[in-house]
A and B are shown apart, each in its own frame.
Chain A
Amino acid sequence: MLTLRNVNAGYGDFQALFDVSLDVNAGEAVAVIGPNGAGKSTLMRVISGMIPATAGHIEMEGRSVLDAPAHDIVGMGIAHVPENRRLFPRMTVEDNLRMGCFMPQFRARYEERKDFVYELFPRMLERRNQMAGTLSGGEQQMCAIGRALMSDPKILLMDEPSAGLAPVIVQQVFDLIERIRAEGLTVLIVEQNVKQVLRIVDRAYVLESGTLRLEGTADELLQSAEIQKAFMGM
């Protein structure tokens, strides 16, 4: 579904991604793990058009993502839940959801998608008129995921959805991701909670200093001594 080939990207003169190639197949959940500063968020940003690629190809269902204007990428079915959630803090939950439905082709299905999100997160229905900035961390994450789901995407990019959340809530977030998968969505997720994320994905890539070092099924990586040492403190 999503294919990256030899992608380079960075910020100004600083190159953060080197020759990254990866694939996500329809219906799959794939994780990208790696230490801080490895370039995981940069990878997500280059796919969703927040930053340009300096080389390489990205294709979504056979269409070139890099040739499309950045603001049309969400229209190709790619929704991005950014690092730190990035809600509009002085807008209500419902207005935040509405922004996820901004593109003209999505608007006709606004009510339907909103009902879907409220069903997935009954808490959001309760809080729909509350300013997003005053939500708890877990609620903000629900709102950010809900906002991304409003466009009925084919693939959901999630950048550290569990960051900054209490352990109980983290478990809830992972349960949620499983439910989203059950809805048929394809997922590409970046996570620090390596052990937990490897339990819910099919495959994973390990990114280090902007380069993909390893790739494997979730089970392979869970067994790998190298991964255990590097990320699970074993």
Chain B
Amino acid sequence: MFAEFTEALFSIFFVETLINGLLLGGVLALLSLGLNLIFGVIDVVWICYAEIIMLGMYTIYFLHVDGGMPLILAAACGVGVTALLGWLTHRLVIGYLLQAAPINQLLATGGLLFFFQGAAMVAFGIEFRNLGVSLGSLAVSEDIYLSWTRLLSFAIAAGVVVVLYQFLSRSYLGAAIRAISQDREIMILMGVNTKKLYLLTSAIGGGLAGLAAALLALQYDVHPFIGLSFGPITFMVCVMGGLGNMVGGFLAAFVFSELITIGGYFAELEWGYVLAFAFFIAAMFVRPEGLFARKS
């Protein structure tokens, strides 16, 4: 039994698993990024974030499959649509609830979740739709194959993280986005229109959801409930990284993805999720403020 275990540990497939975990982490990191950005700045958790991703996936699907638009262009439109959805979410809902109790804000975005889900069901039906795009896989060695989709997702996710980091650390708007989360009230003294900045942040967060949608649409079928399959894990990644802490969320994404793939390697994939969730619960007992939360 033990020999079997060590053998499995040193097998070439385990290496493949670790790499796949890393690649999955890239997408999880991207998923958590937009949510963290919005929470960090506006202090509201968008429960409906994964449903915005779902709508982005539908946009890409219809433009590409039914509209015959090249995939890249369809993905760009998907980003545009989700950015608009993000903007609207703030403009029509959150903007009116900034002073409301957190529970009411949660209920409102939770309501949006069901609204988006229901709307998708009415409009598109419950069938599963597949983009039908396969990028094949890369043979690293005779035994290790890595899916191009995952490699691409990782590369794009990593690229976006770098771009976002540069934007936040170097530009005036980026500085304002960091500043507003630290002191909302005095932004007026800096000449910042906080309403506009919130809308911009919401649109960027929405756009990031669209980007995640493009990557997920390559790997998964689209259906109205797809949000439920990665929404919870996105929240866990964010909470574990310390809500609003983008670097923490980034690291937590990789911890999670490795747990999932390693669990899936030794047992079934479902066990990978069980392992990840168990780790989450244990981590919440040890460090309720998040594993990588900064000390306040």
Using a CB–CB cutoff of 8 Å, the interface residues on chain A facing chain B are 48-50, 69-75, 79-80, 82, 86, 88-91, 95, 98-103, 106-107, 148, 151
Contacts and interface: CB of A to CB of B under 8 A. Distances in A.
Contacts of A89: 182
Residue among B185, B190, B194 facing the most chain A CB atoms (10 A cut-off): B190
B176 interface: yes
Could you tell me the dominant secondary structure of chain B's interface residues? Answer: helix
Given A71-B192, A71-B194, A88-B178, A102 B172 contact: yes
Residue among A70, A72, A148 facing the most chain B CB atoms (10 A cut-off): A70
A47 to B, nearest CB: 11
Contacts of B194: 71
B64 to A, nearest CB: 39
B98 interface: no
A102 B191 contact: yes
B11 to A, nearest CB: 45
Contacts of A50: 185-186, 188-189
Interface of B: 172, 175-176, 178-179, 182-183, 185-194, 294
A74 B179 contact: no
B190 A99 contact: yes
Nearest to A89: B182
A88 B179 contact: yes
A69 B193 contact: yes
Residue among A72, A79, A90, A102 facing the most chain B CB atoms (10 A cut-off): A102
A98 B175 contact: yes
Given A86-B183, A88-B183, A102 B188 contact: no
Nearest to B172: A102
A66 B110 CA distance: 39
Contacts of A69: 193
B188 A48 contact: yes
Given A98-B172, A102-B172, A107-B172, A80 B179 contact: no
Given A99-B175, A107-B172, A74 B182 contact: no
Contacts of A74: 189-191
